[in-house]
Amino acid sequence: MNKHRFHYIFSGDVQEVGFRSTACRLARELFITGWVKNLWDGTVEMEAQGFSGDIDALISGLRQQLFIMVENIQCEEVPIVQNEDGFHIR
């Protein structure tokens, strides 16, 4: 199994609802590396790297949170897997 890296933009009620801290916690539990950050337009940007099933579990976990209301997800695969440690909030 190969690792994959995906770039996401989440829109909806995704800022000031614990999105970044929840993403960080879930990603670390799933051994996913990458980062997450708020953008000026009210969206959240994230890059996640790991096995496809684990990344699917991360996205599913974010969608199931009580206060996070994801309305749209833009996703594209990043062709280069990076050598990095952990998952961080930027």
Other C-beta atoms closer than 10 Å to the C-beta of 60 total 10
Prediction pTM value: 0.93
- 38, 63, 72, 90: the active-site residue: 38
Best CA proximity match to 71, nearest among 2, 12, 24, 4: 12
Q: Is 72 a catalytic residue?
A: no
- 2, 5, 20, 63: the active-site residue: 20
Q: Is 38 a catalytic residue?
A: yes
- Catalogue the long-range contacts made by 57-63 (C-beta closer than 8 Å, 24 or more residues apart): 57/26, 57/30, 58/23, 58/26, 58/27, 58/30, 58/32, 59/8, 61/22, 61/26, 62/10, 62/19, 62/22, 62/23, 62/26
- Count structural domains, the chain: 1
30 within domain boundaries = yes
Report the sign of the C-alpha dihedral through residues 52, 54, 55, 56, in that order.
positive
Q: What CATH number does residue 60 fall under?
A: 3.30.70.100
55 within domain boundaries = yes
- pLDDT digit string (tens) for the chain, length 90 residues: 799 999 999 999 999 999 999 999 999 999 999 999 999 999 999 999 999 999 999 999 999 988 999 999 999 999 888 899 999 999
